[in-house]
């Protein structure tokens, strides 16, 4: 069966349709690639939270509960749950945007191949981000189930932390995607991201204790961190951690702004890089 153009692109390619849903074709390709690693994605999604629950949630939690009875009025695992979900979401979405971006622009340059099709630079960015959100949704849902099984959700509202974490993942993913496009050297980029962004976020965002416990000169890391804003909201929504309405607005506003500006920045970076 030899190649024979029967109709020609003028008849078979619907540009108007691509302008509406072109990003989904990028998501579809990304999911196809993820599927190749389904086994490790699944094991990581289940094993990671289980180990965390056993070590920090149960182990450290027992120590803290025995010492002070509770944290923020709830048992330690309940206090920890929203923070762990947000951390998992942020970490997952970051992985799922940074690696494809470096691969697409630098390693295999597959984004330049997509850029030769009617799919626009913005749609490539949207498609990659959406795939990252789907992968993150899978991971944080598994995480939520594990937390539930370990008794971390003491109220019926515990599940609310899952979509909240997912939104934080989307916001951080959009923001970090634009930065990854601009990265000149991927080795340095990974090193800087891991040491100077992810680690401080994890340690200084009120994950394991309330931010107010920290000395004032270190709290600013938390204030800047999407993890702290998400964790505060998560604790407020899941077990009634005290927050003023103004602070609720600040946290929600921060995440919305990060998503909006992050996506806009990512669009600009994709367009710039693909038109060079």
Partner 1 sequence: MTNTTNASREVLIKATGLRKSYEDFAAVNGIDFEVFKGESFGFLGPNGAGKSTTMRIIAATLTRSGGELTILGKDPQSNGPEIKAHLGVVPQADNLDNALTVEENLYVYGRYFGLPKNFIREKIEELLDFAQLMDKRSVKVEALSGGMKRRLTIARALVSEPEILMLDEPTTGLDPQARHILWDRLFRLKEQGVTLLITTHYMDEAEQLCDRIMVMDKGSIMAEDSPAGLIKQYSTREVLEVRFGSDRNYVVAPQLEVMADRIEVLPDRILLYAENGEALLHEMNEKGLHPVTSLVRRSSLEDVFLRLTGRTLVE
Q: Which residues bind partner 1 (CB under 8 A)?
A: 1-10, 12-15, 17-19, 21-22, 25-26, 28-29, 32-33, 36, 107-110, 112-120, 274-275
For residue 91, give both structure tokens: 């970490």
Residue closer to partner 1 by CB (options 110, 210) is: 110
Which residue lies nearer to partner 1 by CB, 44 or 110? 110
| Smallest separation (angstroms) from partner 1 to the CB of 157 | 40
Least gap, CB of 263 to partner 1 (angstroms) = 20
Distance CA 57, CA 50 (A): 9
Helices (H) and strands (E) in the chain, counts: 13, 0
- CA proximity to 232, closest of 141, 168, 176: 168
The Cα 257–Cα 129 span in angstroms is: 16
Nearer to partner 1, 2 or 216 (CB): 2
Burial 246-267 (b: 16+ CB within 10 A, else e): eeeebbeebbeebbeebbebbb
Indicate the residue among 28 and 70 with the shorter CB distance to partner 1: 28
- Tell me the CB-side half-sphere exposure of residue 264, using CA atoms within 13 A: 6
CB 126 within 8 A of CB 174: no
Nearest to 150 by CA among 227, 62, 42, 239: 62
Neighbouring residues of 222: CB distance < 8 A, sequence distance ≥ 6: 204, 205, 206, 211, 214, 228
Q: Which is nearer to partner 1, 7 or 244 (CB)?
A: 7
Contact 128, 100 (CB under 8 A): yes
CB of 136 to partner 1, least distance (A): 19
Residue placing its CB nearer to partner 1 in the complex, 15 or 216: 15
Decide: 122 and 202 in contact? Cβ < 8 Å: no
* Closer residue to partner 1 in complex, CB, 22/206: 22
Residue 48 C-beta: closest distance to partner 1, Å = 23
Both tokens of residue 40?
A: 């490790």
**Shortest Å, Cβ 74 to partner 1:** 43
Which is nearer to partner 1, 118 or 151 (by Cβ)?
Answer: 118
Q: How far is the CB of 268 from partner 1 (least distance, A)?
A: 16
Smallest separation (angstroms) from partner 1 to the CB of 3 = 4
Find the shortest distance in angstroms from Cβ 214 to partner 1.
42
241: how many CB neighbours lie within 10 A of its CB? 18
């Amino acid at each position: 069966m030899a190649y024979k153009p029967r109709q020609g692109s003028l008849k078979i390619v619907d540009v108007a349709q691509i302008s509406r849903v072109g990003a989904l074709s990028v998501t579809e390709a990304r999911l196809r690639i993820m599927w190749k690693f389904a086994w490790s994605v699944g094991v990581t999604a289940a094993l990671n939270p289980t180990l965390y629950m056993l070590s920090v949630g149960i182990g450290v939690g027992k120590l803290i509960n025995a010492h002070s009875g509770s944290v923020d009025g709830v048992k330690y695992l309940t206090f920890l749950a929203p923070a762990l979900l947000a951390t998992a979401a942020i970490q997952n979405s970051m992985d799922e945007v940074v690696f494809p971006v470096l691969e697409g622009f630098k390693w295999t340059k597959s984004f330049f191949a997509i850029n030769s099709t009617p799919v626009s630079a913005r749609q490539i960015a949207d498609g990659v981000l959406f795939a990252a959100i789907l992968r993150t949704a899978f991971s944080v849902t598994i995480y939520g189930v594990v937390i539930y099984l370990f008794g971390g959700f003491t109220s019926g509202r515990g599940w609310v932390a899952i979509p909240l974490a997912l939104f934080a993942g989307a916001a951080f993913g959009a923001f970090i995607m634009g930065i990854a496009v601009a990265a000149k050297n991927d080795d340095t980029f990974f090193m800087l991201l891991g040491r100077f962004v992810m680690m401080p976020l994890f340690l200084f965002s009120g994950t394991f204790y309330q931010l107010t416990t920290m000395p004032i000169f270190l709290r600013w890391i938390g204030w800047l961190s999407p993890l702290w804003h998400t964790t505060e909201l998560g604790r407020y929504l899941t077990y009634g951690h005290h927050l003023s309405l103004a602070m609720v607005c600040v946290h929600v506003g921060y995440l919305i702004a990060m998503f909006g500006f992050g996506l806009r920045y990512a669009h600009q970076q994709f367009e710039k890089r693909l038109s060079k």
